[in-house]
Amino acid sequence: MEKPLLVGGGVLLLGLLGATGFVVPTLKANNPPVSTGVIPKRSTPTSPSTESIAAKTPVASWSKEDRRKKLTQLRTEMSAVLAQGHRASPQKSLALLNELEQLSQGEVDPRYFQTLRNILNESITVQTLNLELQKLSSSTAPQDVARTQAVLDEIRAASQRINHEAMLLKTYASAPLPGKKIP
């Protein structure tokens, strides 16, 4: 297994930890998730900072030693982010993901990184919704109760999208790039 793939998997794990670390404590036992089988489209566009940066800075001119040093640095930074668990910044994870994509040009399917980005963006959405849910949780006003239910539904939908993206990620991680042989 390639080392960039392992670091990418760490980013996925961080995204999933962030999503579940904020959602699980807030879901109530009397509100089981409703599965419609339909995965709603994301309503928020991805920000320009999360777009693919692979074409912006070519690393083909880097020596093997430079790439190795940068990968070691990325592993160290990723370990620090993973150690923070669900409190880690998704923005920091996105920055690390962008650097990793840059270093692994031509070695890993670009769809893999886009899918990781989608998962992290959904995690950011879940975190934002969770903050709103925490503010609404102490109120018993009818409009707040209705909004609480709407937020829970949005969190469930985001969780379904994360699960779908995770399944896609699994297929991209196991598929070799066109023209590449599996060692």
Contact 177, 106 (CB under 8 A): yes
Is-above-0.95 flag for pTM?
Answer: no
Does 66 reside within a domain? yes
User: CA separation (Å) from 74 to 71, 138, 154?
Assistant: 5, 41, 33
Q: Which residue has the tokens 């995690």?
A: 123
Residue 134, pLDDT > 90, answer yes
Question: Which residue range(s) make up the domain with 149?
Answer: 3-174
The pLDDT, as a whole number, for residue 37 is 39
User: CA separation (Å) from 153 to 70, 91, 113, 124, 157?
Assistant: 41, 25, 27, 16, 6
The pLDDT, as a whole number, for residue 43 is 41
Query: Is the Cα torsion angle 34, 36, 37, 39 positive or negative in sign?
Result: negative
Mean pLDDT of the chain: 73
Residue 30, pLDDT > 50, answer no
The pLDDT, as a whole number, for residue 181 is 60
Does 83 reside within a domain? yes
The pLDDT, as a whole number, for residue 170 is 86
Does 183 reside within a domain? no
Instruction: Report the percent of the chain where pLDDT is more than 90.
Output: 28
pLDDT band of residue 50 (cuts 50, 70, 90) is very low
Contacts of 92 (CB under 8 A, 6+ apart): 81
Distance linking the first and last C-alpha atoms of the chain: 9
Does 180 reside within a domain? no
Q: Look at the chain and report how many structural domains it folds into.
A: 1
